[in-house]
Amino acid sequence: MPNIGLSDHLPVFIRRKYYRKQKDHFHYIIEYRDLKNLSTDESLQDLQCTPWDPAFVFDDVNDVLSSMETVLNDVLDQHIAFKTKRVKKLNQPFWMTKEVLHSTKTRDKLLKKARISNLQEDWTRYTHAKVQTTN
């Protein structure tokens, strides 16, 4: 029988099996139009030059709407490309507003600037932004 105990002369070892429960972690892929590089003058000019008359030959309102949507999407496809993005959640929590996102981005930019410059006034601005974001 082995002599096992807590002593300086005897080996001490522990083996623990750990199994992590796998959750169904998956991501959603969304498509959206990226308006970052939109040229409004060109797109408005194309919308004005687009023939809208063929949409009004239908008697049914749903057909007219469908035809107008098709024409509009054709113009938008020329000027505003679709982008795909992988996201964890389709809907953000109710408290995640544009103000919170803007505050978070500002805080992160100030942190990056403070780390690079390492000046006290930059760290003070970052700390103020951090408190503002948390509040």
Summarised one tens digit per residue, pLDDT across range 78-102 is: 888 889 998 887 788 888 888 999 9
Summarised one tens digit per residue, pLDDT across range 6-34 is: 556 666 667 777 766 666 667 888 898 88
In order of 1, 20, 100, the CA distances from 47 in angstroms are 89, 56, 35
| Residues 6 or more apart in contact with residue 50 via CB below 8 angstroms | 71, 75
pLDDT at 3: 61
Is 32 in contact with 83 (CB distance < 8 Å)?
yes
pTM for the model stands at 0.47
